Amino acid sequence: MRSIVVVTTVFLFLTTVVGAVDFEECGDCHGETYAVWSSSPHGSASCDICHTASPGGFDAHISAPFTSSPDVNLSSEVCGDCHSGVYDEWNEFGEADFDMEAIASHSEPTEVAEPYVLNSGASCVACKSTDGGILNIADAEPYALDEEGAHDLEVVSEWAISCAACHDPHDTGPRIDDSILLCGNCHNTEGVVMDGNTPIVRHAQWELVSTSGYVDGSHPTSIGCVDCHMVKISNDEVVETGHTFDFDAVLLSNPDSGNNCSLCHQSSLPSLVEEKQAPIESHISALNLLEEKAGNALESINGTDAYEEQKANYNNGQFYLTKIENDGSLGIHNLETATNDLVASEELFNKVIIAGDGSDEAEKPVPGFSAFISIALLAAVAFIVRKGR
């Protein structure tokens, strides 16, 4: 019996050594990648966890690297085999009550949630697939997407935004350390400008956050996307790693949160957020009604000399409105810009209405709104300064 155990142990040892030697050979060609991987927390995970050998095995690839290339598995399921807790948080799409109409998640496959993307351009593929996202992030600057180098639809293997989109599996860290740049590579407007012909602006998060008080020194500390969208809590009652990327002011206020918001805000953060969001939400609601009235006024002057000018005003009003509405934060990303853009939208819609009915009396969607916002801004600044002390 003892001899069987010894033989088995020696066999396993030799198998392990041979396997390790096999993967050390990867470093002969992939020297830099191998050095990063072997010194990282993933250094104990073999290459074949993520890389699937082609027919003939890895030896065939080593012998003929250009004709026998391993496939790469970019799915989060691979990561979930070891990181099950993080995977379960990320995988909202796998939950029985997940509602694609009401919830946006990195885990929802694009070909299921947004199939129209499959007929769209390279910029959509770059941010709606992991394959495209990796190429997009290769240049850290937003708007720097190389559309000619983007993947063709038929070669995309992972349509969800998996772990590998943001993390380099070889060193485990984020592909870009600055979370505003990392997230901003997809969450940006692609540089659209108000030109009288662009009525809809989508995902302006980068433009708003990168010009906000969170990064220009106005806020007592500089904070990035992960500081608010990845709540980290670990105690006897709850373990959160933040991989749903949901903004939760209550959890951020938890003293056990590693985000440290409670150091200044204690338990007041949820109410502060609500106070900032309320006037923006109200103004957006009023502007949607004003937009409809402006649209009717524009139609009433169709065919007149005033039409083209007012059409540009109408489109620009929609530009400002949709920029803030589609951002989704109701002013939290940048309260000053949100306020100014909504006021600009109101003025532009009113110009169209005046031209349509010949009146000099503009609509007032929110009486005293500008004054109310000014007071709210001053109160918010005073609150932050007080807490900073």
List pLDDT tens digits, range 326-362.
999 999 999 999 999 999 999 999 999 999 987 655 5
Per-residue pLDDT tens over the stretch 174-228: 999 999 999 999 999 999 999 999 999 999 999 999 999 999 999 999 999 999 9
Q: What DSSP line would sit under 88-156, residue for residue?
A: HHH-GGGSTT--TTT---TTS-HHHH-GGGGGS-HHHHHHHSHHHHHHHHTS-STT---GGGSPPGGG-
* Residues 349, 226 contacting (CB under 8 angstroms): no
- 171 class by beta-carbon count within 10 Å (0-12 exposed, 13-18 middle, 19+ buried): middle
What phi, psi does 140 have (nearest 5°)? -65, -25
- Domain extents in the chain: 2-72, 76-184, 206-265, 269-388
| pTM (2 d.p.) | 0.84
Least confident of 154-158, 274-278, 291-295: 154-158
Element (H, E) at 239: strand 239-240
* CATH tag, 269-388: 1.20.140.10
Q: Is there a contact between 198 and 245 (Cβ–Cβ < 8 Å)? A: no
The rounded distance, in Å, linking the Cα atoms of 122 and 70 is 25
d(CA 340, CA 192): 18
Q: Does domain 2-72 have CATH number 1.10.287?
A: yes
Which pLDDT band holds residue 13 (cuts at 50, 70, 90)? Answer: very low
Instruction: Please state the rounded mean pLDDT for residues 368-383.
Output: 51
> Who has greater pLDDT, 11 or 58?
58
**Any residues with CB less than 8 A from the CB of 143 and at least 6 apart, and which?**
188, 190, 191
pLDDT of residue 283: 98
Instruction: Tell me the two tokens of residue 198.
Output: 């662009």
Rounded Cα distance between 200 and 322, Å, is 6
Query: Cα-Cα-Cα-Cα dihedral of 42, 44, 45, 46, to 10°?
Result: 130
- Per-residue confidence (pLDDT) for residue 374, from 0 to 100: 52
Please provide the distance, in angstroms rounded to a whole number, between the alpha carbons at the two ends of the chain.
73
